[in-house]
Structure 1
Amino acid sequence: MSDILLILITAIVALAVGVYIGRLLLQKVYKQQEVAARQKAKAIIREAEINAEAIKKDRMLEAKEKFLKLRSEFEEESNKKKNIIIQNENKVKQREQHVTKQMEDNKRRENELNKEKEALNLQLEHLHKRKEEVENQHKEVVAQLEKIAGLTASEAREQLVDALKSEATTQASSHIKDIVAQAKLTATKEAKKIVIETIQRTAAEHAIENCVSVFNIESDDIKGKIIGREGRNIRALEAATGVEIIVDDTPEAIIISGFDPVRREIARLSLHRLVADGRIHPARIEEVVTKTRKNIEEEIIEIGERTAIDLGIHGLHPELIKMVGRMRFRSSYGQNLLQHSREVANLCATMAAELGLNVKHAKRAGLLHDIGKVTPDEPELPHAIIGMELAKKYKEHPDICNAIGAHHDEIEMTAMISPLIQACDAISGSRPGARREIMESYIKRLKDLEAAAISFEGVNQCYAIQAGRELRIMVDADNVTDEKAAQLSFDISQKIEKEMQYPGQIKITVIREMRAISYAK
């Protein structure tokens, strides 16, 4: 029992001693850690102070550099302005010196002129005296002649004039009769000879423009892609190009219908690119049609330049060259307008050479005589007058302007080449099969349809399709509501009924498309 107590006491004492020793050790460890932490904190503070000092120096250097740079720029700008001011002052001084010199010269010249004026006055006085002497002598001579002849001067003058007039009238009448007789014998023969030789020496092709183009495809499977889901692709293509796309049972072919050859060509090329690319959807269709329209505009300029080069015509204004290119896609009574104008130019050049006139002016006027038919706005004026105004606007020769304006007798012919243009225009158009008047009146009716619809407010685009049996009108969705679209369709139909004549009936379709566009950035 005493041993157990002793062990317990020993254990308790040992435990107390251990706890105490452990506590001392912990305090020592904590103290060491505190010292280390303080040293580390001092090191961090010292390092931070060093970094701050370095950053401060860098910022000061940057500020100094920026200040020096701004100072140099300011000094440079100040020097430039100072130099400009000095130059202006020098110019002003030079101008003042020049003005002063001019004033001195003017003053000297004025003195010289005054001296010359005085000398002239003396000469005039002398001439007046001399004139009076001559008149007195003339009166004396006339009085002596009147006494000798027994007639006054006025009576003698009248008798002489009557005698000369009678003799001149007799000779002139004789010459006129001879000239008229000779002209009657040779004029008709020479005119026919020149016209026949001109036609024989000029060979031109004739292209009859139709209202239908055919787009060939390799497989009928492509038709489904072109039509699209619920017809959205074909509707987008028709809306973008303004033509009618006919996809029927015709094997491996799609029909493009429209009276405007430019629209048909844009639709045909756009279809070709879409089919070759394989991606056919409304957004892609609009993108391709926009690119194709731009390419067609470039092609029009190229056609105009090539035509001018082929005919040897130089110095045409770029706008006139563009209009010449647009003739390629325009028909006149079914005759291709560019081919017709080229033929007239060649005919005029040949006739002018035969008659000894200006060949270059004749050829230039022949090419431009129908330029008024391809103006974009097409005002209510004869195309000859429009063409003449365009030629004047772009600084063409007055003879060329007169020939253009007078080739349908809208104005008087004052240039020698004007009758040639009129004759060659008639020769080119009167060949069998060259023109079809029905086609021209048909196209004019379609254009009048589009013009009647486009005149209403809110209409963006208008296309006559289905051979003029349908009018499709695209309106601005922001300005035209659904109710207003219905009213607009009715108003356009009423205007067409009152102002136009047409067979059957015309369907007016107003399309109001709302688009919401946003961009993911």
Structure 2
Amino acid sequence: MDILYIVISLVLGLLLGVLGFLFLVYLNNKRIQESRIEANLIIENALKKETQILIESKEKALNIVSKSEKELNTRKFDLEKSERLINEKEIKIQNTTQSLEVKKNNITDIETKIKNKEQILDDITSQKVLELEKITKLSLEDAKNLLIEEAEIQSKEEIQKRYLNYENEIKIESNDIARKVIADSIQRLASEVVSERSVSSISLPDEDMKGRLIGREGRNIRAIEAATGVDVLIDDTPGMVVVSSFDPIRREVARISIERLIKDGRVQPSKIEEIVDRCKSELEENIIKSGQSAALEVGVSGLPNEIIKTIGELKYRYSYGENVLQHSIETGWLASLIASEIGADPYKAKAGGFLHDIGKALTHKIQGPHAEIGADLCRKYGIENDICDMIAEHHNDNHSSVEGFIVSSADAISAARPGARHNTLENYIKRLSEIENIANNYEGVEKSYAIQAGRELRVFVNPEIVDDSKAQSLSREIVSELEKNLTYPGQIKVMVIRELRSIEIAN
């Protein structure tokens, strides 16, 4: 039985295997058939697309050929048209060339005729010139020179007349404008008149205080003089202490110190040194504040600290009773106003006017004119050269810039205002007399006059004793003598006048 089952199983397995194989063959054939059908469809589609592409390509090619033929025909037409135009232009050029040749020949003929006529005219002119030379007895060159000389004379006379007329008109107009500018500037500034004076005397409350200031064997007064560097005079004026010093800062320190010692009542060398040191510190701070306030008031910025400090020292410097710091502020404003009116640089003029007298703060320390001292100081601390030149030239007649002239004018206007400076009549007359006496002491001087408040000296000499060369040397000698023997503000202009008169009487 077991063998039968095995055989039956094998037969069944074999049948199933055959059936499976046949089924697989069937499936494979079916797939192959479907693939062939799909391939045929793809081929048919490809053939259709190929046919369509060929048709489209042919159409595009036909279009391109059509367009090319049209463009070719258009270009051919344009070329033919251009050729016609060129041919026409060539014909015109040929005609023009022929016409020009004809004209050229005509011009050549005319030039030949003109040359012949010019030759005839030259011959006639030469003949006439010879006849004129015989008649006038002048050559052609002499006649030309004579005409040129007459023309030059007439031209010079006409130019001189016009120059004088223009000069007079300009003088009249410039004077009117100058008066208006100065008047407007002074009116716009309208500052108060400065009438302060340097205080060099202190009142004593009683004689006891006078003794305490002197001290035992004069030790207190010597301590004050040693600490402040001034001369203290007590016995010369009753009830007063007089402080004398060329240095205004030292004099101010001494004045404040003595006033505080009198108020405190304790006068001894140690106390004197303490108060003097305190006063020096306070005064130095006050000087810097005064310089800063003045620069701020005028509107000049960026000044170095040393310049600010020196400007502040001018608060204690006076010239003919006028406070130099207030004068500097006023000159700066006046210079700025004048510069604005005439179209110059207002800031440079303002700075030059504000700093023009800065050298007066150092005249007790440095020898020389205050204008040069001030200019050197400003150059040292980097102030602009133009401003330094204004400071150096503010007492000169010649100026390197318009602003320099403005600063000089503003300085004179500020000092010349009524009440700005004051001096006693006795001192004023004495100073003028001293100036005149120095000139009168020289041989050949007949008379001399100090004018313009002592700023100019006119010396009249005998022409028989003093010749021209000696007059020049005499002016230099008088200037040297004035600088050596007199102290005066600003400058003195010396003018030596030599006049020769010849008088005859007809009977």
TM-score using structure 1 length = 0.47
